[in-house]
Amino acid sequence: MKIGILTSGGDAPGMNAFISKFTNLALKAGHEVVAFKFGYQGLIDNSAKTLTREDVSNIAHLGGSNIKSTRSSEFLTKQGFRRAIQNIKLNEIDCLIVLGGDGTLRGAKELSAAGIKVVYIPATIDNDLFYTEQTLGFDSAVNAAVDAIDKIKQTMLSLNRIFICEVMGRHCPDIAISSAIATDATILITEAKQFSFKETISKIKEAIGDGEEAPSVIIRENILDVFELAKKIQNELDIETRACRIGYVQRGTAPSVMDRILARKFAKFALELISSKKFSRAIGQVGNKIKSKNLSEI
Protein backbone atom coordinates (compact mmCIF):
# COMPACT_ATOMS: atom_id res chain seq x y z
CA MET A 1 0.00 0.00 0.00
CA LYS A 2 0.98 3.61 -0.44
CA ILE A 3 0.36 5.26 2.92
CA GLY A 4 0.28 9.04 3.34
CA ILE A 5 1.22 10.64 6.65
CA LEU A 6 0.95 14.21 7.91
CA THR A 7 1.05 16.25 11.11
CA SER A 8 -1.32 19.19 11.45
CA GLY A 9 -1.96 22.06 13.89
CA GLY A 10 0.27 22.64 16.92
CA ASP A 11 3.06 20.06 17.02
CA ALA A 12 3.26 17.68 19.97
CA PRO A 13 6.17 15.80 21.56
CA GLY A 14 5.92 12.20 20.41
CA MET A 15 4.95 12.99 16.81
CA ASN A 16 8.47 12.16 15.64
CA ALA A 17 8.50 8.97 17.70
CA PHE A 18 5.28 7.91 15.97
CA ILE A 19 6.53 8.84 12.49
CA SER A 20 9.74 6.92 13.07
CA LYS A 21 8.17 3.75 14.47
CA PHE A 22 5.26 3.69 12.02
CA THR A 23 7.47 4.24 8.97
CA ASN A 24 9.91 1.56 10.01
CA LEU A 25 7.13 -0.96 10.63
CA ALA A 26 5.36 -0.07 7.38
CA LEU A 27 8.52 -0.26 5.26
CA LYS A 28 9.35 -3.61 6.81
CA ALA A 29 5.88 -4.86 5.88
CA GLY A 30 6.47 -3.79 2.26
CA HIS A 31 4.44 -0.57 2.16
CA GLU A 32 5.50 2.82 0.87
CA VAL A 33 5.16 5.83 3.20
CA VAL A 34 4.69 9.30 1.76
CA ALA A 35 4.87 12.38 3.98
CA PHE A 36 2.83 15.47 3.13
CA LYS A 37 4.96 18.21 4.66
CA PHE A 38 3.10 21.03 6.47
CA GLY A 39 -0.02 19.02 7.23
CA TYR A 40 -3.30 19.65 5.43
CA GLN A 41 -1.67 22.60 3.65
CA GLY A 42 0.82 20.09 2.26
CA LEU A 43 -2.05 18.15 0.69
CA ILE A 44 -3.17 21.33 -1.07
CA ASP A 45 0.37 22.25 -2.15
CA ASN A 46 1.22 18.64 -3.06
CA SER A 47 4.31 18.48 -0.87
CA ALA A 48 4.49 14.66 -1.12
CA LYS A 49 7.84 13.10 -0.27
CA THR A 50 8.54 9.39 0.05
CA LEU A 51 10.11 8.57 3.42
CA THR A 52 13.16 6.34 3.69
CA ARG A 53 14.55 4.59 6.75
CA GLU A 54 17.27 7.26 6.89
CA ASP A 55 14.64 10.03 6.97
CA VAL A 56 13.15 8.61 10.16
CA SER A 57 16.17 7.26 12.00
CA ASN A 58 17.35 9.08 15.13
CA ILE A 59 14.32 11.36 15.35
CA ALA A 60 12.16 9.49 17.92
CA HIS A 61 13.69 11.36 20.85
CA LEU A 62 13.09 14.81 19.34
CA GLY A 63 10.22 17.19 20.04
CA GLY A 64 8.38 18.94 17.20
CA SER A 65 7.52 17.38 13.86
CA ASN A 66 10.22 16.58 11.33
CA ILE A 67 7.57 16.49 8.58
CA LYS A 68 6.40 20.01 9.57
CA SER A 69 2.96 21.23 10.50
CA THR A 70 0.61 24.17 9.92
CA ARG A 71 -2.79 25.44 10.91
CA SER A 72 -4.17 25.61 7.35
CA SER A 73 -7.01 28.05 6.77
CA GLU A 74 -7.08 27.16 3.07
CA PHE A 75 -8.03 23.58 3.92
CA LEU A 76 -11.23 24.97 5.47
CA THR A 77 -12.29 26.47 2.11
CA LYS A 78 -14.21 24.41 -0.46
CA GLN A 79 -11.54 25.05 -3.07
CA GLY A 80 -8.66 24.10 -0.77
CA PHE A 81 -10.40 20.95 0.38
CA ARG A 82 -11.09 19.94 -3.24
CA ARG A 83 -7.42 20.47 -4.15
CA ALA A 84 -6.38 18.36 -1.16
CA ILE A 85 -8.59 15.47 -2.32
CA GLN A 86 -7.31 15.79 -5.89
CA ASN A 87 -3.69 15.56 -4.72
CA ILE A 88 -4.39 12.53 -2.52
CA LYS A 89 -5.81 10.82 -5.62
CA LEU A 90 -3.04 12.11 -7.90
CA ASN A 91 -0.45 10.52 -5.60
CA GLU A 92 -2.46 7.27 -5.52
CA ILE A 93 -2.54 7.29 -1.73
CA ASP A 94 -4.36 4.20 -0.43
CA CYS A 95 -4.80 5.56 3.06
CA LEU A 96 -3.80 8.60 5.06
CA ILE A 97 -2.57 8.81 8.66
CA VAL A 98 -3.12 12.20 10.28
CA LEU A 99 -1.65 13.32 13.61
CA GLY A 100 -2.86 16.37 15.50
CA GLY A 101 -5.45 17.82 17.85
CA ASP A 102 -9.14 18.63 17.58
CA GLY A 103 -8.83 20.71 14.37
CA THR A 104 -6.97 17.84 12.75
CA LEU A 105 -9.66 15.44 13.91
CA ARG A 106 -12.33 17.60 12.25
CA GLY A 107 -10.27 17.53 9.04
CA ALA A 108 -9.96 13.75 9.27
CA LYS A 109 -13.72 13.42 9.61
CA GLU A 110 -14.26 15.62 6.54
CA LEU A 111 -11.75 13.62 4.48
CA SER A 112 -13.33 10.37 5.58
CA ALA A 113 -16.81 11.65 4.67
CA ALA A 114 -15.39 12.52 1.23
CA GLY A 115 -14.32 8.88 0.75
CA ILE A 116 -10.64 9.07 1.76
CA LYS A 117 -9.38 6.19 3.91
CA VAL A 118 -8.13 7.88 7.07
CA VAL A 119 -6.62 6.85 10.40
CA TYR A 120 -6.39 9.58 13.04
CA ILE A 121 -3.78 9.72 15.83
CA PRO A 122 -4.54 12.06 18.78
CA ALA A 123 -1.42 14.20 19.18
CA THR A 124 -1.77 17.41 21.16
CA ILE A 125 -0.35 18.65 24.43
CA ASP A 126 -3.81 19.88 25.44
CA ASN A 127 -5.30 16.43 26.18
CA ASP A 128 -8.68 17.79 25.10
CA LEU A 129 -10.03 14.83 23.13
CA PHE A 130 -12.60 13.13 25.26
CA TYR A 131 -12.71 9.74 23.53
CA THR A 132 -9.13 8.99 24.66
CA GLU A 133 -7.62 9.02 28.15
CA GLN A 134 -4.35 10.36 26.87
CA THR A 135 -3.21 12.27 23.83
CA LEU A 136 0.34 12.04 22.52
CA GLY A 137 2.36 14.96 23.91
CA PHE A 138 0.37 15.65 27.06
CA ASP A 139 2.69 13.80 29.45
CA SER A 140 5.78 15.50 27.99
CA ALA A 141 4.16 18.95 28.24
CA VAL A 142 3.21 18.39 31.88
CA ASN A 143 6.74 17.24 32.70
CA ALA A 144 8.17 20.33 30.99
CA ALA A 145 5.76 22.58 32.90
CA VAL A 146 6.61 20.92 36.22
CA ASP A 147 10.32 21.18 35.52
CA ALA A 148 9.94 24.92 34.81
CA ILE A 149 7.74 25.54 37.87
CA ASP A 150 10.21 23.69 40.14
CA LYS A 151 13.01 25.96 38.92
CA ILE A 152 10.92 29.11 39.23
CA LYS A 153 9.98 28.06 42.76
CA GLN A 154 13.65 27.85 43.79
CA THR A 155 14.29 31.48 42.94
CA MET A 156 10.96 32.61 44.40
CA LEU A 157 11.77 30.76 47.64
CA SER A 158 15.11 32.54 47.90
CA LEU A 159 13.32 35.89 47.95
CA ASN A 160 10.08 34.86 49.64
CA ARG A 161 8.01 36.00 46.68
CA ILE A 162 4.54 35.01 45.55
CA PHE A 163 4.50 33.63 42.00
CA ILE A 164 2.03 32.91 39.25
CA CYS A 165 2.71 30.41 36.43
CA GLU A 166 0.49 30.26 33.37
CA VAL A 167 0.51 26.93 31.57
CA MET A 168 -0.81 25.92 28.12
CA GLY A 169 -3.84 23.79 27.39
CA ARG A 170 -5.97 26.17 25.31
CA HIS A 171 -9.35 25.64 27.04
CA CYS A 172 -8.54 22.32 28.69
CA PRO A 173 -7.50 22.30 32.36
CA ASP A 174 -5.46 19.07 32.31
CA ILE A 175 -1.93 20.52 32.11
CA ALA A 176 -2.79 23.04 34.83
CA ILE A 177 -4.32 20.40 37.12
CA SER A 178 -1.44 17.92 36.82
CA SER A 179 1.22 20.64 37.17
CA ALA A 180 -0.51 22.10 40.22
CA ILE A 181 -0.73 18.72 41.94
CA ALA A 182 2.85 17.77 41.09
CA THR A 183 4.27 21.07 42.38
CA ASP A 184 1.96 21.29 45.39
CA ALA A 185 0.58 24.65 44.24
CA THR A 186 -1.19 26.94 46.67
CA ILE A 187 -3.91 27.89 44.19
CA LEU A 188 -5.12 26.33 40.93
CA ILE A 189 -7.25 28.33 38.50
CA THR A 190 -8.70 26.47 35.52
CA GLU A 191 -11.85 28.43 34.65
CA ALA A 192 -12.55 32.17 34.41
CA LYS A 193 -15.85 31.83 36.23
CA GLN A 194 -14.11 30.06 39.11
CA PHE A 195 -11.66 32.93 39.69
CA SER A 196 -12.19 35.34 42.59
CA PHE A 197 -9.53 37.92 43.47
CA LYS A 198 -10.81 38.17 47.04
CA GLU A 199 -10.59 34.42 47.54
CA THR A 200 -7.12 34.29 45.95
CA ILE A 201 -5.87 36.91 48.40
CA SER A 202 -7.40 35.16 51.39
CA LYS A 203 -5.89 31.78 50.34
CA ILE A 204 -2.45 33.35 49.91
CA LYS A 205 -2.72 35.00 53.34
CA GLU A 206 -3.76 31.69 54.87
CA ALA A 207 -0.83 29.89 53.20
CA ILE A 208 1.63 32.50 54.46
CA GLY A 209 0.06 32.19 57.92
CA ASP A 210 0.70 28.43 57.71
CA GLY A 211 4.38 29.09 57.02
CA GLU A 212 4.45 28.88 53.21
CA GLU A 213 7.38 30.99 51.97
CA ALA A 214 6.61 31.25 48.26
CA PRO A 215 2.90 30.68 47.60
CA SER A 216 2.17 29.71 44.00
CA VAL A 217 -0.75 30.18 41.64
CA ILE A 218 -1.00 27.82 38.66
CA ILE A 219 -3.38 29.06 36.01
CA ARG A 220 -4.52 27.76 32.64
CA GLU A 221 -3.90 30.07 29.68
CA ASN A 222 -6.71 32.14 28.12
CA ILE A 223 -8.24 33.13 31.46
CA LEU A 224 -6.69 36.46 32.50
CA ASP A 225 -3.59 38.63 32.22
CA VAL A 226 -1.16 37.03 34.69
CA PHE A 227 1.12 40.09 34.76
CA GLU A 228 -1.80 42.32 35.77
CA LEU A 229 -2.81 39.80 38.41
CA ALA A 230 0.73 39.79 39.84
CA LYS A 231 0.66 43.60 40.13
CA LYS A 232 -2.73 43.52 41.84
CA ILE A 233 -1.62 40.87 44.36
CA GLN A 234 1.57 42.80 45.11
CA ASN A 235 -0.38 46.04 45.66
CA GLU A 236 -2.92 44.31 47.90
CA LEU A 237 -0.47 42.36 50.08
CA ASP A 238 2.68 44.45 49.80
CA ILE A 239 4.66 41.28 49.00
CA GLU A 240 6.77 41.00 45.85
CA THR A 241 4.85 38.97 43.26
CA ARG A 242 6.03 37.75 39.87
CA ALA A 243 4.30 36.10 36.92
CA CYS A 244 5.59 33.83 34.15
CA ARG A 245 3.97 32.34 31.10
CA ILE A 246 5.72 29.01 30.72
CA GLY A 247 4.78 28.88 27.04
CA TYR A 248 6.38 26.95 24.23
CA VAL A 249 8.94 24.97 26.25
CA GLN A 250 5.92 22.79 27.04
CA ARG A 251 5.31 22.08 23.36
CA GLY A 252 8.88 21.97 22.07
CA THR A 253 10.19 19.67 24.77
CA ALA A 254 11.56 16.20 24.01
CA PRO A 255 8.99 13.42 24.38
CA SER A 256 8.82 11.83 27.82
CA VAL A 257 9.32 8.11 28.28
CA MET A 258 5.56 7.69 28.55
CA ASP A 259 4.95 9.52 25.25
CA ARG A 260 7.68 7.56 23.46
CA ILE A 261 6.01 4.33 24.56
CA LEU A 262 2.54 5.62 23.67
CA ALA A 263 3.81 6.66 20.21
CA ARG A 264 5.13 3.15 19.57
CA LYS A 265 1.87 1.56 20.73
CA PHE A 266 -0.16 3.91 18.50
CA ALA A 267 2.17 3.16 15.55
CA LYS A 268 1.86 -0.60 15.93
CA PHE A 269 -1.92 -0.37 16.30
CA ALA A 270 -2.23 1.96 13.28
CA LEU A 271 -0.40 -0.51 11.05
CA GLU A 272 -2.57 -3.36 12.34
CA LEU A 273 -5.71 -1.38 11.48
CA ILE A 274 -4.45 -0.56 8.01
CA SER A 275 -3.31 -4.14 7.36
CA SER A 276 -6.76 -5.42 8.28
CA LYS A 277 -8.30 -2.71 6.05
CA LYS A 278 -10.05 -0.89 8.88
CA PHE A 279 -10.26 2.78 8.01
CA SER A 280 -12.09 5.92 9.18
CA ARG A 281 -10.82 5.15 12.67
CA ALA A 282 -9.46 7.31 15.47
CA ILE A 283 -6.93 5.59 17.71
CA GLY A 284 -6.94 6.25 21.45
CA GLN A 285 -6.30 4.83 24.87
CA VAL A 286 -9.26 3.56 26.89
CA GLY A 287 -8.91 1.63 30.16
CA ASN A 288 -5.14 1.74 29.58
CA LYS A 289 -5.59 -0.23 26.33
CA ILE A 290 -5.06 0.99 22.78
CA LYS A 291 -8.38 0.98 20.93
CA SER A 292 -10.01 2.66 17.96
CA LYS A 293 -13.34 4.27 17.34
CA ASN A 294 -15.19 5.14 14.16
CA LEU A 295 -14.49 8.75 13.21
CA SER A 296 -18.20 9.36 12.65
CA GLU A 297 -18.90 8.51 16.32
CA ILE A 298 -16.59 11.20 17.66
170 vs 205 by CB, closer to ligand F6P: 170
Strand partners, 218: 165, 188
Question: Does 65 interact with ligand F6P (rule: CB under 6 A)?
Answer: no
Question: Does 126 interact with ligand F6P (rule: CB under 6 A)?
Answer: yes
126 catalytic? Reply is yes
* Residue 82-121 contact track with ligand F6P, rule CB under 6 A, x = bound: -------------------x--------------------
122 vs 215 by CB, closer to ligand F6P: 122
Q: How far is the CB of 9 from ligand F6P (least distance, A)?
A: 6
Q: How far is the CB of 190 from ligand F6P (least distance, A)?
A: 14
Question: Does 10 interact with ligand F6P (rule: CB under 6 A)?
Answer: yes
**Per residue in 89-125, is it b (16+ CB within 10 Å) or e — as a string?**
eebebbbbbbbbbbbbbebbbbbbeeebbbbbbbbbb
Exposure of 196 by Cβ count < 10 A (0-12 exposed, 13-18 middle, 19+ buried)? exposed
Q: Which of 116, 142, 146, 168 binds ligand F6P (CB under 6 A)?
A: 168
Question: Does 177 interact with ligand F6P (rule: CB under 6 A)?
Answer: no
Strand partners, 122: 100
Cβ distance 8 to 254 under 8 Å?
no
Q: Which of 170, 203, 205, 291 binds ligand F6P (CB under 6 A)?
A: 170
Q: How far is the CB of 111 from ligand F6P (least distance, A)?
A: 20
For residue 64, give the DSSP letter. S
Question: Does 173 interact with ligand F6P (rule: CB under 6 A)?
Answer: no
What's the number of CA atoms in the CB half-sphere (13 Å) around residue 188?
A: 14
Round to whole Å and give the CA distance between 73 and 97: 20
Residue 238 DSSP SS3: coil
What's the number of CA atoms in the CB half-sphere (13 Å) around residue 221?
A: 13
Question: Does 169 interact with ligand F6P (rule: CB under 6 A)?
Answer: yes
Q: Which of 251, 260, 264, 281 binds ligand F6P (CB under 6 A)?
A: 251
Residue 152 DSSP SS3: helix
Round to whole Å and give the CA distance between 225 and 47: 40
Of the candidates 102, 126, 128, 139, the residue annotated as catalytic is: 126
Using CB under 6 A, list all residues that contact ligand F6P.
Answer: 10, 71, 101, 124-126, 168-170, 221, 251
Please identify every residue annotated as catalytic: 126
